Chain A
Amino acid sequence: MNDTADWRTTSHNYPRSTAGETFRLDGNAAAGLLSEIFALEMTTAETRCAMCDASAPLGSLMMYGGQMGTVLRCPTCDHVQMRITHIPTNDGQYWLDMSGMTSLRIRSSFPT
Chain B
Amino acid sequence: MPDTLTRLAWQLATVVRLIEETPTVKSLVLDVPGWKGHFAGQHLDVRLTAEDGYQAERSYSIASAPAESQLKITVERLDDGEVSPYLVGELRTADELELRGPIGGWFTWRPADGGPVLLIAGGTGIVPLMSMIRQRAAVKSPVPVSLLYSSRSVDELIYRDELERHAAMDAHFEAVYTLTRSQPVGWEGYRRRLDTTMLEELRFTPADRPLVYICGPTAFVETAATACVEIGHAPDRIKTERFGPTGGTA
Contacts and interface: CB of A to CB of B under 8 A. Distances in A.
Interface of A: 18-29, 31-32, 35-36, 39-41, 43-44, 57-60, 107-110, 112
A22 B241 CA distance: 13
B226 interface: yes
B217 interface: yes
A35 B8 CA distance: 6
A44 B100 CA distance: 19
B106 A22 contact: no
Interface in B178-226: 217-219, 222-223, 226
A112 B59 CA distance: 26
A23 B105 contact: no
Interface of A is mostly: loop
A109 B222 CA distance: 30
A23 B218 contact: yes
B226 A19 contact: yes
A60 B59 CA distance: 17
A59 B218 contact: no
A40 B8 CA distance: 10
B240 interface: yes
A23 B86 CA distance: 23
8 contacts: A19-B222, A25-B243, A25-B244, A31-B106, A40-B5, A43-B105, A57-B106, A110-B1
Q: Which of B103, B218, B223 has the most CB of A within 10 A?
A: B103
Contacts of A27: 106
Q: Which of A28, A43, A108, A110 has the most CB of B within 10 A?
A: A28
Interface string B79-113: 00000000000000000000010011111000010
B69 interface: no
Contacts of B239: 59-60
A88 to B, nearest CB: 11
